[in-house]
């Protein structure tokens, strides 16, 4: 692995479509990162299979964190971490093989989330429909998704996708509150929801940062990048944070939850990626720590 000044953790769901169409200039930005030897770890709410086409189209060869903090996926031989290895990552969790990747699991596997959701629905009396119980055609009819998209949406490694079947807001809150009391984390995806047991984006980032530290034998600066909609909850875990905003705000920057003041870059500025490179490379006063 090449020496690098930084590791980039970037939430990409607002930057890359499910078919791999990226915000203008993003592909050149990632190519420059590769040229500079800076790994870009992509963070997504999508599943491993749902994320495959965007990764292939954009030539992403680095690890990624999927299903909103459920697991870390390492390309083959990236860290030479063997499936079943324990203690080589900070989660101290044995790794296993999923498709072409070695996975460091953080959340419990999908059957656990599925059972938890079924129990919650039964015990609270709030009706839900899990996506795995529907055919792709039924799912397409219920959500408006294309058949291919619907099939990919159903296939998850860790969390369980579902929607509420005619439940009132009061009923929905009843199930969500009871689930949180039992350690189930819910995330909303438009009209759909996901339920996960044990998901933790912070643990994913710490496990992956530890592997980079071990491989490089030093701690490179970590830079977190996200839009407001993409969630900035991982900023406190990074040495530097970049918040992509819809418009340039002239008001004073406010610290993130961990006390760091994120650099703000307007998402639709023509030189957004040049500004981003300056921060990542540490060549601007904004990016220096």
- Residue 142 has a pLDDT of 77
The pLDDT value recorded for residue 90 is: 52
- pTM for the model stands at 0.89
pLDDT at 281: 84
Cα–Cα distance for residue pair 266/236, rounded to 1 Å: 21
Boundary (domain end) residue, out of 147, 171, 197:
197
pLDDT attached to residue 231: 61
User: Inter-axis angle of helices 26-36 and 272-281, to 10 degrees?
Assistant: 20
Task: Provide the pLDDT for residue 91.
Answer: 52
Give the orientation angle of helix 147-154 with respect to helix 136-143, to 10 degrees: 110
According to DSSP, the β-strands at 192-197 and 160-164 are: antiparallel
Beta-bridge partners for 10: 42, 225
Q: Mean pLDDT in runs of 10 for the chain (289 residues)?
A: 90 90 92 94 95 93 96 90 55 80 95 97 95 85 79 90 92 96 92 94 93 92 87 83 75 47 84 89 57
Among the candidates 148, 163, 197, a domain finishes at 197
- Gap between the Cα atoms of 126 and 289, Å rounded: 50
For residue 138, report the phi and psi dihedrals to the nearest 5 degrees: -65, -40
Residue finishing a domain among 197, 224, 241: 197
- Looking at the structure, tell me whether residues 102 and 147 fall in a common domain: no
So what's the pLDDT on residue 147? Answer: 82
Residue with tokens 């760091």: 260
Asked whether residue 180 is assigned to any structural domain, the reply reads: yes
**In which domain, by residue range, is 15 found?**
6-106+200-281
């Amino acid at each position: 692995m090449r020496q690098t000044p930084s590791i980039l953790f970037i939430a990409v769901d607002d930057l890359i479509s499910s078919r791999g169409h990226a915000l203008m200039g993003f592909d050149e930005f990632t190519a420059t990162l590769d040229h500079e030897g800076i790994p870009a770890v992509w963070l997504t709410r999508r599943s491993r299979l749902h994320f495959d086409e965007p990764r292939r189209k954009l030539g992403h060869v680095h690890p990624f964190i999927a299903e909103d903090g459920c697991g870390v996926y390492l390309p083959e031989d990236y860290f030479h971490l063997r499936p079943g290895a324990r203690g080589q990552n900070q989660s101290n969790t044995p790794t296993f093989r999923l498709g072409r990747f070695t996975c460091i699991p953080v959340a419990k596997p999908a059957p656990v989330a599925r059972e938890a959701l079924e129990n919650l629905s039964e015990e609270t009396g709030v009706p839900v429909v899990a996506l795995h119980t529907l055919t792709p055609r039924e799912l397409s009819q219920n959500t408006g998704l294309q058949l291919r998209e619907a099939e990919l949406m159903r296939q998850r490694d860790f969390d369980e996708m579902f929607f509420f079947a005619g439940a009132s807001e009061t009923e929905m809150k009843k199930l969500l509150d009871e689930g949180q009391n039992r350690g189930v984390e819910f995330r909303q995806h438009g009209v759909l929801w996901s339920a996960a047991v044990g998901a933790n984006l912070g643990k994913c980032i710490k496990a992956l940062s530890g592997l980079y530290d071990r491989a490089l034998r030093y701690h490179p600066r970590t830079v977190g990048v996200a839009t407001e909609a993409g969630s900035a909850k991982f900023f406190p875990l990074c040495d530097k944070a970049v918040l992509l905003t819809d418009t340039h705000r002239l008001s004073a920057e406010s610290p993130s939850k961990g006390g760091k003041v994120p650099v703000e870059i307007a998402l639709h500025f023509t030189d957004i990626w040049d500004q981003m490179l300056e921060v990542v490379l540490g060549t601007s006063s904004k990016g220096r720590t």
